[in-house]
Amino acid sequence: MPRRFLKTAPGLPPQSAADVADTVRIMLARLRAGREEAALDYARRLDGCDAAPELPQEALASAYRHLPVTLIEDIAYAHANIRAFAEAQRGSVTEFETELRPGLFAGQKLIPLGCAGCYVPGGRYAHIASALMTVTTARAAGVPQVVAVTPPGRTGPHPAILHALHVAGVDRVLAMGGVQGVAAMALGLFGLPEADLLAGPGNAFVAEAKRQLFGPIGIDMVAGPTDSMILADASASPHRVALDLVSQAEHGATSPVWLVTTHRPLAEAVLREVPRLIAALPEPNRAAAGTAWDALGEVLLAENREEMAAQADSYAPEHLHVMAADLGWWRDRLRAYGSLFLGAGTTVAFGDKAAGPNHVLPTGGAARYTGGLSVHKFLKCVTWQRAEPQALPDLARASAGISRAEGMEGHALACEARHPRATRHRVQA
């Protein structure tokens, strides 16, 4: 369908992904060879940190003393929601045994990973919610060892991040960020257990490190800049729509936001309101949101709600917020999003911080084929089978027949050894 834009996105100057990949490749090679010494050298040069990286449990347990009571209560509220949702997810998938045919049994078993490595970003913002989202979810999945890294900053990690990690139940924490922090969890540096899976958001270098380590080590996803779309009809508040767009653009200059609406007056009002809201933000939030809106923000007009839904499916946004009538129709119709926000009473900011469902979500259109971080990422869903005598004639005959048709005589013989009377034809040597 043709797209009718009231605001288009000119885009940002191109950045070289190859440069990031090459830098990370060199760093990981050095970290594999030099291990702790190389990690400490990167920490000194990139983070300006000479301190021992591991934070004692006492530092985590006492971090609350540096926080206002209201923030401690807010973290407790968010943690309870995130844990309850993750535990409900865990309960939604179960082990089972079924008898497929008389004597042929198969089943499913759920095995938590041995160790989860959680990356908690630092930088411009204190990512308290990311600490809760990753560690709490791994714990709800039953992972016995959960470790985390977070950049040290100039004076150490933010005490609210440390408190959140403690509340979520982390076992060990390194004050180490970037590629060296990811590698410390993946390679088991500084006495950490080697992580089976790496989870959590990060900058382009963190994402690339996870991508290059993937294979023998699992990752939640290769996430890029966050993105958000709002679908709104004439019933939506222009101010609320504009504010929600700005709040997501605040993530950073590379974070696109999109509005799709059937109501031109709403779109025009939002276009007037967004610059005013951005101008009222403090720096550096103002610059980040302004660049994101100017370079990556889009406003599209649609003929009807079906066209709005089709546009959303084509973009597959990380966050998809519906401010329109008949929310049940939208919930049933929409097919491609990381997380769905239904109604004007909610906001993506709730999901980012405290509502419960995980905020580590697919970006850059990846919601076409995957969802976000969940307890399922920290569980291995494995299968088992056994066969009793009454199942063997048919099972051995069918398996041997398929094996021979594929040219795999050894497979056929192994099947027939379980029930010789299943033999049909043997290839002569």
Q: Is residue 201 located within the same domain as residue 268?
A: no
307: pLDDT strictly greater than 70: yes
Range of the domain at 203: 18-220
Q: What is the pLDDT of residue 174?
A: 97
In a domain, 382, yes or no: no
Residues 200 and 233 in one domain: no
Look up residue 51 and give its DSSP letter. S
Boundary-marking domain end, from 220, 238, 261: 220
Quick one: tokens of 220? 């939640």
Note if the bond before 238 is cis, omega within 30 degrees.
no
Tell which of 193, 220, 247 closes a domain. 220
On whether both 159 and 235 belong to a single domain, the answer is: no
* Residue 360 is assigned to a structural domain of this protein: yes
Assess if residue 9 is contained within a domain: no
- The per-residue pLDDT for 206 is 96
| 254 Cβ contact partners less than 8 Å away, ≥ 6 residues apart | 12, 224, 225, 292, 296
Are 136 and 174 within one domain? yes
Kindly tell me if the per-residue pLDDT of 204 is higher than 70.
yes
Task: Say yes or no: 357 and 406 in one domain.
Answer: no
Specify whether 284 is located in the same domain as 179: no
- One-letter-per-residue 3-state SS of 365-377: CHHHCCCCCCHHH
What is the pLDDT at residue 427?
43
Q: Which residue has the higher pLDDT, 423 or 97?
A: 97
Q: Assess if residue 380 is contained within a domain.
A: no
In-domain check, residue 392: yes
Specify the residue for token string 């390194």: 174
Q: What is the pLDDT of residues 106-157, one digit of tens each?
A: 999 999 999 999 999 987 788 999 999 999 999 999 999 999 999 998 888 9
% of the chain at pLDDT higher than 90:
90
Q: Are residues 121 and 25 in the same domain?
A: yes
Tell me the catalytic residues: 318-319
Q: Looking at residues 178-201, what average pLDDT do you find?
A: 97
In a 3-state reduction of DSSP, which class is residue 117? strand
The answer to whether residues 214 and 233 belong to one domain is no
Instruction: Kindly state whether residue 183 falls inside one of the protein's structural domains.
Output: yes
| pLDDT tens digits, one per residue of 358-388 | 999 999 999 999 999 999 999 999 999 999 9
DSSP label of 45: I
CATH no. for residue 359?
3.40.50.1980
**For range 401-425, the mean pLDDT:** 87
What residue has token string 């979810």? 137
Phi, psi values for residue 173, rounded to 5°: -135, 135
Q: Pairing mode, if any, of strands 197-199 and 115-119?
A: parallel
> Does the residue 378 lie in any domain?
no
pLDDT of 126 reads: 87
Q: How far is CA 285 from the centre of its chain?
A: 24
pLDDT at 423: 59
Query: What average pLDDT is seen over the chain?
Result: 94
Q: What is the mean pLDDT of residues 230-236?
A: 98
- Cα first-last separation, the chain: 62
Instruction: Residue 345: count other Cβ atoms within 10 Å of its Cβ.
Output: 9
Structural domain total, the chain:
3
Is residue 238 located within the same domain as residue 309?
A: yes
Buried b (16+ CB within 10 A) or exposed e, 311-321: bbbebbbbbbb
The amino acid that residue 355 corresponds to is A
- For residue 261, pLDDT over 80 is answered with yes
pLDDT in tens, 11-38: 887 766 778 999 999 999 999 999 999 9
- The answer to whether residues 94 and 209 belong to one domain is yes
Q: Which pLDDT score is estimated for 153?
A: 83
**Co-location of 355 and 407 in the same domain:** no
How confident is the model over 63-117, as pLDDT tens digits? 999 999 999 999 999 999 999 999 999 999 999 999 999 999 999 999 999 999 9
Query: What is the model's pLDDT at position 428?
Result: 42
Which token pair is 187?
Answer: 């390679």
Other C-beta atoms closer than 10 Å to the C-beta of 402 total: 13
Find the mean pLDDT for residues 213-217.
96
Task: Answer yes or no: is 264 within a domain.
Answer: yes
**What crossing angle do the helices spanning 204-213 and 178-187 adopt, rounded to 10°?**
30
Q: Tell me which amino acid residue 156 is.
A: G
Average pLDDT over residues 285-293: 96
DSSP track, 287-310: HHHHHHHHHH-EEEE-SSHHHHHH
pTM (global) more than 0.85:
yes
196 and 72 in a common domain: yes
Last residue of a domain, one of 158, 190, 220: 220
